[in-house]
Each structure stands twice: as structure tokens, then as C-alpha cells.
Chains A and B, each alone.
Chain A
Amino acid sequence: DIVMTQSPVSLAVSLGERATISCRSSHSVLYSSNNLNYLAWYQQRPGQPPKLLIYWASTRESGVPDRFSGSGSGADFTLTISGLQAEDVAVYYCQQYFSTPYTFGQGTKLDIK
């Protein structure tokens, strides 16, 4: 199984500042034949189901604000939230879909400082 490890486990960022969350996979999730990284990012607000933010490691889902961006390749990925807003308080998860079992990171809890 591919193990997904996120860091930090929690972080607090001031409004308007940048938040950066890291995700590392135990195996590369880059498929060489199409040069796509099989990685997604989700936001889960309290009491809500997860919401897809990013797929293919860097493609923003329709309707997601452009302050959310994904980067990285192979086994190292980053979710960046530029200009943090109050509604961004949530837990963020990365997920690999390179192979089953699909696996998620343990989550990163983002709060306002």
C-alpha cells in the first residue's frame, strides 16, 4: 500500500498570510506514460463531507478559489493557500489514486493565528 504522510499535523496562520501543507507518498504517484501525478487534495470543514480542491496534483477543481494551488511531482507535493481567509479553517487531506487501495494522508488541521 502507498502510505501518504502529511506535515505538519496542524498549523495556525494569520489572516491574509500563506499556508503551506506538505504531502509525501511512500511510492511515486507519477504515471510515466501520461506524465500525470495521481494525487488529489481535499478540504473538510467541521461537520461537512470532504470537498475536492485539486486533482492531478495541480489542477484546480471548478469553483475553487485561485488562492488554492497544488504543486509537486513524484512523491513530494504541496498545497498552498495564499491570502488565508477565515472560511479556510478546516482539515486538509491529500489522497493518492495511483493504485488501490486508495490512501489518504492523516490530515492537516488549519486554524487562524
Chain B
Amino acid sequence: EVQLVESGGGLVQPGGSLRLSCTASGFAFRRYWMSWVRQAPGKGLQWVANINQDGSEQFYADSAKGRFTISRDNAKKSLSLQMNVLRADDTAVFYCASFDWSYKGGAFDIWGQGTMVTVSS
């Protein structure tokens, strides 16, 4: 079964840090670009970051630049998002998602169930 499973969410104080993880199964993880997309409670979708197949290129939303770091380990079929200096407006469900650029462009065809991050004192 094709699957992405996120973990690592939780409650953190403003200014704190959190590391999210995503584990892939059922598909050729090393062939895919990987991303994080978030959704604040009751709001729409916001792209956070992309990483290419070998991890050599990363792209970030302005809101994530300098605070978040996306990384991957192809041997472990895992994706991570290190989040520092968290703010209240980072509160959201964070989804791990993937896309096959050569086939569907940047259309996210595999999504995890999401992990909730709450930033509050």
C-alpha cells in the first residue's frame, strides 16, 4: 500500500522547536520530490517546503525561510522538517506530500494523514 505517515507533532511553546518526520512505504521514495504542506485550523492549504530527489535542492515559503529545514534520508525512506523559533501562527496540521515532477509536475499525488502542531503558551 502506498503510504506516507507523519509523526512528531504536538504542543510547543512560542520560540520553541519541533522536528516532524514522515515515513514512506509502497512506492519508489527516492524517485519523488517531497514536500510539507500545512493547514491552519479551519483554513486553506499552504505550501511550506520542497526537497528534490537526492536532497541537494530545497525550496521554502517565505514564512519558513530561516526557521525551518527540510531534509530526507532515502535509505530510510524518510522525510523531516526541523522547525525552530515557532510562532502561534505556525499552528496547523502539517502534511507530508510527494510529487513525481517528470510525470505530473508539482501536483501532489500522495499525502499523509497529517500531524498537528500547536504553538501556545
Contacts and interface: CB of A to CB of B under 8 A. Distances in A.
Interface residues of A, number: 24
Interface of A: 36, 38, 40, 42, 44, 49-52, 55-56, 59, 61, 93, 95, 97, 100-107
Nearest to A91: B44
B109 A61 contact: yes
Contacts, number: 66
B27 interface: no
Interface residues of B, number: 22
Contacts of A97: 99, 105-107
Given A95-B45, A101-B61, 6 more contacts: A42-B108, A49-B111, A97-B107, A102-B106, A104-B45, A104-B46
9 contacts: A38-B106, A40-B106, A40-B107, A49-B95, A49-B112, A50-B45, A51-B111, A100-B59, A103-B47
